[in-house]
Amino acid sequence: MSSAISKRTKRQSQIWLVMKKEFQLLWKDKKTLLVYLLGPILIVSALGTTGGTTLGANSNLTAGLVNNDSTKLASELVDQFHNSSHLQIGVEADNSTSFDELSKGNVQFVIVIPEDFGKNIQTGKKATVAIYVDNTDPLVPQNAKQATSQVMSEFQKQIAKEQNVQSNISLGFETNDFYNVKLKQADVMVSKVIPMVLVWIPMMMTGMAIVSERLRGTLSRSFKTPLSKVNIVLGKLAAYVVIVVIQIILIVSFAVAIFSLTFNASFFDVFLILLVNGLVGLGIGMLVSVLATTDRQVTETIPVVVLLMVILAGVFVPVRQMPDRMQSIAKLIPLYYSIDATKGALLIGHGLGYLWEDVVTLALYAFGFLGLAIVLLYFEEKIPRFLTGNR
């Protein structure tokens, strides 16, 4: 009996010693401890604050409005759309301006009131409006129909009370796809997944590039050679760029072969967008690698960074459904521009001439992260110890 108690006590003592050692190591590694404590809070906060709209609500829809009718009834319908709680009018202009806003993604659909709308109501004919929807977003067509139907129903009840209008009013709307493309659910998902993968994997590849050599001691030996620190980083980066190029070719080819991915743009345009997107991942990974002093810091930090980017960039919740402040934050995330450009090229067929702003923004992020990594590595000895972790 006493022997069993002694063994149990010994086991508990050994377990406690191991636990104490782990806590001591973790306490010395403040960066990893910070990731452990703040990472879950940041992720939960991002998930909670990006889903700020009510489920099933249409108030997150923004529409363009074109009124080609000068009658009073058409003006009353315009007021009904403006005052509706089912949608928001983002722009009221002519056809060209409204459809341009739709192609830019600033509105999700466009409502067109024809010139004979008021006349048809007064003569007892069916009066219809036309809506043109962004059919590359699977949620928009149904929500746009529902919102327009609710507004038209409310307007019908309103004008039925007017004495100079017949009681048998017939109102309706017709739906048109804005883009002449036939898409599958897989097309929409793949256009988001490919940029996400091509940020995450390159980030993981370069995440250990500097810190692993620092731990093995090969980095300090490399610095004693004629090679400059800048050339060391650029050399490593060049090797990983080749791998990213191969990954892009494999991923896109696989998606086309297996999922019959709709390919509406030239391969060169899509390739360049994904390449710049991959450079962003390489830059972030290199920056994390320079800042980290242990491999644990890298393996714990990168998943948190990736998950935050995925949440905020609109992979799970469309950016337009987020609260205004979160939409502003989303536009600071590189992956937001990657997804926007990839969607525009793959699903819609936009070329680089149309998507250049997204591509330039991604390039600035990529070179910014890489430049910061080089600066930090170059002046590593002069950087405060709390930043580099050097003792």
Residue 56 pLDDT grade (very low, low, confident, very high; cuts 50, 70, 90) = very low
Contact partners, residue 230, CB within 8 Å, separation at least 6:
374, 378
Rounded Cα distance between 342 and 361, Å, is 14
Q: Which residue has the higher pLDDT, 298 or 17?
A: 298
Query: Which of 270-279, 291-300, 341-350, 378-387 reaches the highest mean pLDDT?
Result: 270-279
* 388: pLDDT strictly greater than 60: no
First CA to last CA distance, the chain: 50
Element (H, E) at 266: none
Rounded Cα distance between 251 and 377, Å, is 33
pLDDT by residue (tens digit) across 313-322? 988 888 887 8
Instruction: Give pLDDT, residue 5.
Output: 67
Rounded Cα distance between 389 and 210, Å, is 14
| 111-140: average pLDDT | 90
Rounded Cα distance between 177 and 137, Å, is 11
CB half-sphere exposure, 391, CA atoms < 13 A: 3
Residue 69 pLDDT grade (very low, low, confident, very high; cuts 50, 70, 90) = very high
Query: Which of 29-43, 160-174, 225-239, 278-292 reaches the highest mean pLDDT?
Result: 278-292
Element (H, E) at 65: strand 62-67
Residues of the chain with pLDDT > 90, as a percent, come to 33
Q: Which residue has the higher pLDDT, 7 or 306?
A: 306
Instruction: Give pLDDT, residue 55.
Output: 43
Nearest to 241 by CA among 289, 193, 218, 209: 209
Q: Which residue has the higher pLDDT, 281 or 386?
A: 281
Q: Distance of alpha carbon 248 from its chain centroid, rounded?
A: 19
Rounded Cα distance between 108 and 384, Å, is 49
| 365-385: average pLDDT | 77
Instruction: Give pLDDT, residue 377.
Output: 79
Residue 12 pLDDT grade (very low, low, confident, very high; cuts 50, 70, 90) = low
Contact partners, residue 236, CB within 8 Å, separation at least 6:
206, 209, 210, 286
Instruction: Give pLDDT, residue 147.
Output: 92
- Whole-angstrom CA distances from 249 to 233, 245, 270, 363 are 25, 6, 10, 20
Instruction: Give pLDDT, residue 124.
Output: 81
How do 127-133 and 62-67 pair as beta strands? Answer: unpaired
| 178-206: average pLDDT | 87
Mean pLDDT for the chain overall: 82
Domains belonging to the chain, first-starting first, are: 62-177 (3.40.1710.10), 184-388 (no CATH)
Token pair recorded at residue 106:
């600033």
Q: Distance of alpha carbon 332 from its chain centroid, rounded?
A: 10
Nearest to 206 by CA among 340, 71, 305, 130: 305
